[in-house]
Each structure stands twice: as structure tokens, then as C-alpha cells.
Amino acid sequence: MEGLFSQSAYILVYQAPSLDELAEVLGDFKIEGRTEAPPDGHWALGGASLIVAHPEGPGRVLIDVVDRTWPDDMGDPVQDPVLFAAWSAGGFGPAVFPGNLERAGKQAWVWRQASGAVRAHRAFVRMRSTFGEAGVPEGHDPKAELLFLTKLGAAILTLQTSLAFFDPSGEAIRPQEFVDQALAYEAAEGVAPLDVWTNVRIGRLTDDWVLMDLVGMSQLGLPDIEACFKAEQYTFEEVDTFLRQVAEYVADAGDVLGAGDAVPGPKDVTWEVLRAEQGLNAPPRATVRLLPEDGIERTRQVMDVRPMAAVIEAAQAEF
């Protein structure tokens, strides 16, 4: 299963729809057929699915329905080894980590009702994109692939039982109207709906220092983005805007921000770029870390860009 799925997205629902109901709302897409559920298959690996033709050549999207709540934990290698193996092998999609639904519900600044959708959902529709054993083709555009999944999701959101679009890699939960507006803007202006695929989160590093990070850029083959700053110096709103502007820039330009670079930010302050092999917040992933060059002394924590193995080794040594 490892590496089989190149993108994934989900629709949270309060009642599981049938494949026939899904096929009806997906009438504008090319449905190539259906697969049967494996006779002794585990739900985590896949069930009866619709096969939707992918716009990029040989690819396809498998759409199935899981009649249970989202599994936010990894399972147990003894009690539930199949779920554990599915998580470990990327069965829920690339860069999807346990605990993402809980974090998405708690950090839902774009849509405050997201936590209600988390509590209300009783099942989910799973959309997983794959190019099969041939692998991702040369010249593949992950942005176009994710956009296609978003359009599929928008159609499924028209079902009365649908609650929200869930991008687990971006820890983002969005309502139907938000997704529709983002897709309309993309069609009119050509701007990718990053706000559907990513989420900005807020946390405290110390009593004085705040961490805001944008998660989900790995879906585009890019590092996530962090901003560390003194709380009294900048508002959350202006740093949120800053992170989203940087995300839009690298989504178009690519992974171009290197250690030591500087980018203009809030309060007309330039922000220094650090490259971290391990971000300061879950899930584990590489990040571009942004620090304001405002003359304030930085803590050791925000300057630490060592790999996680080195951080753990140092902590054990201190203990």
C-alpha cells in the first residue's frame, strides 16, 4: 500500500450514503466502473468503490464510503493490526497523521462550526487518488490533482447528509459554501484554493512567544510554514495573513525560500528564513520557519532546526 495513494480528501457525513447516491451527484464526472469490497477486507484498506477517471492520463480516483467515524488514532499493532498497518503505510493518503481531525476541529479559525461537524459525523466518504503501480507520471502537477479531488468533494457536499469537506493532510475542515466560493474564485482568477487544503494554527511556545503555522503544503511537494514571534509585537490576524501570502507565493514559485533569506512581513519588518527538518508542532514534517528581525532576542527553542532524532538525543542526555 505504501506510496499507492498520491492525494486524498474526505467528506464528513452524518449518515453513510450508498454508492448509487454518490454516482448520482457525480454525474458530471467520468465514472469508469466499480470495485467490489474484498471478501475478508478491513474497512481501513478499502471497500466497494466508484472508479473515477483522473484528468492526468492513467490515474484514477477511488471513492468509497466508511460507515464509522474517522479513526483519529493509529489503532494498535496487537488489538487492531490492520488499522495500524493502514496508517503506517499511508492508506489514508500521503502526509496524513493520527490526531489530525481533533487538531482540525480545535484550530478551526476559518469556520468556527467545524468542531460541531466533527462531533456530528457518523461516517465519511473517502476519495483517494492513485496512479497504480506505475507511480506518479513525470511532469505530474499535484496542485491540479488536488483541485480535481476538491471538485469531486464539492459535488458530494450537495448530498443532504454531508457535513463538511475534510483535508486531513492540511488539517482543514470547510463547509460547502466555503468550498464552492473557493472553486469559483479559482475558475475566475486561477488562484488555487489553498484555504481549502491548508490550515493556520496558533499555539504558545513560552509565556511570551507564539507559534503560528500553516499545515498542508506537503500536498504540493512543499514544506509547511511557521512563524515565531513575541505576542505583544504582532496581532494574530496580521501573522495569519502573512503566512497565507507566503504560502501563495511558494505554491506558485516552488520551494525557493532558503536559510538566511528574508521576506517582508507585518509591521514593515523583514522576517528571516530558517529551514527546519522538524517543525515545532505536530505532525512531524519539514518547515520553513520565519522569525522577525525586530531586534528582540530569540529563544533557543525557535532557533533549533536540528532533526528530531538530535532533539530527542539531546533531551535524553540532559535527563
The tens digit of pLDDT for each residue in 84-110 reads 888 888 889 888 999 999 999 999 999
Residue 88: the pLDDT is 84
Question: What's the pLDDT at 56?
Answer: 67
Cβ pair 267, 233 in contact under 8 A: yes
pLDDT at site 3: 53
18 pLDDT higher than 90: yes
Residue 154 half-sphere exposure, CB side, CA atoms within 13 Å? 18
For residue 101, what pLDDT is reported? 96
pLDDT at 133: 75
Assign 1 a pLDDT band (cuts: 50, 70, 90): very low
User: In this structure, how many other beta carbons lie within 10 angstroms of the beta carbon of residue 147?
Assistant: 19
Arithmetic mean of pLDDT, 180-204: 97
> pLDDT value at position 305?
85
Which of 3, 166, 174, 144 shows the shortest CA–CA distance to 70? 166
Mean pLDDT in the chain? 91
